[in-house]
Structure 1
């Protein structure tokens, strides 16, 4: 018979990530960035130019590789995209 143990709802905390509390927050911001880009009709190139970042860096963030970027910077990107 199986026995289930319930722990914290944050799987990143269970896996031992140092920034476990920030990862879901960043993921939500990145989702909103994607929605804003689509709503504005921005290409990856357009959005990267507007944000002052490299297209490759933006592409990595949009693919979920945002460990090296702070949530505050992502919020700034979202604000810039939302104001257009």
Structure 2
């Protein structure tokens, strides 16, 4: 027989990840950035130029490798993208 235990909705916190409370927030911001880029039809290199960052750094962030960047910086990137595209 199985027994289930319910915890928080943040699996990263349950697994003990450092900065777990920010991970879902950062993922949501990155999702919005990706949607914005797709809607505007811009390439990775064009978006990186708009953000003043390296294309390789932006590619890592868009693939979920955002441990070294804070939610505030990602919010700034999203704001820059949306302000320049719309």
- Which category of TM-score, normalised to the shorter sequence, fits these structures? over 0.9
CA shift for structure 1 position 18 = 1.8
Distance 2:11 2:78 in 1: 25
User: Could you state the TM-score of these two structures normalised by the residue count of structure 2?
Assistant: 0.94
Aligned to 1:40: 40
Structure 1 gaps, min length 5: none
Aligned to 2:52: 52
Report Cα offsets for 1:12-47 as digits up to 9, x if no partner: 000001201100000000000001111111100000
Report Cα offsets for 1:26-82 as digits up to 9, x if no partner: 000000000111111110000001100000000000000001001111001101110
Q: Where has structure 1 moved over 4 Å in runs of 4 or more?
A: none
Distance 1:75 1:9 in 2: 23
CA shift for structure 1 position 8 = 1.2
Q: How many residues align?
A: 84
User: Could you state the TM-score of these two structures normalised by the residue count of structure 1?
Assistant: 0.97
